[in-house]
Amino acid sequence: MATMVMGQEMEQMQGRRQSASAVRRALSVAERNRELFEQQQARRRGPTPEMFFTKHLDNSRLVKADDPDRRAEMKRFTLVMSLFFALTMVYVWQHFSAIEVGYNVEAQKQQVEQMREDNRQLRLQQAELSDPGRIDALARQLGMQQPMPGQVVRQEGPLDGQPVLAQAHVPVMSAN
């Protein structure tokens, strides 16, 4: 009887396997993958806990051994790097100085051009103000008249360019 019960149970298990395989065959690949993923999620317990242990190390009794080769190598390296840094700084200084000089030259060119324009304006103004026709018109507006003969005294000097001594006599005007 025990063998019969076992035989029936085996048949039921085989039937379940066959029905399960039929169901699996019927499911699409996507559904099967989803099912496997859900099974994995159900078995998962969460992230693995991390544990850290402190280690107390006492390095106070360690003595660093002096390496003369390493010291010489570090001195050479420091010297080379210092020289490289100094040369780089000289190059950068010269570069920025050249840029600054260029800006100064351009500023002075603009200043010269501005002075030329101012000089041109002043010459135009001088020519306008010293125009004899303008001066005559202004004199007539102020009530001035043409000078009478004998009112204008011109200083006659030597023609050879020699200096002339000043004299203290006043020209006499005739009262007509």
- Tell which residue, 135, 171, 168, 136, has the closest CA to residue 151: 171
pLDDT value of residue 82 = 98
pTM of the model: 0.40
Residues 105-153: tens digit of each pLDDT? 999 999 999 999 999 999 999 999 999 899 889 998 998 888 888 777 7
CB 38 within 8 A of CB 44: no
Tell me the pLDDT of the chain averaged across its residues: 81
Grade residue 77 by pLDDT with cuts at 50, 70 and 90. very high
> Distances in Å between the alpha carbon of 8 and those of 16, 21, 79, 108?
12, 20, 93, 113
Residues 31-68: tens digit of each pLDDT? 888 888 887 776 766 666 556 678 888 888 888 888 99
pLDDT value of residue 56 = 83
pLDDT value of residue 91 = 98
Other Cβ atoms less than 10 A from the Cβ of 27: the count is 13
Match 């000043």 to its residue by tokens.
Answer: 166
The 3-class SS string of 100-136 reads HHHHHHHHHHHHHHHHHHHHHHHHHHHHHHCCHHHHH
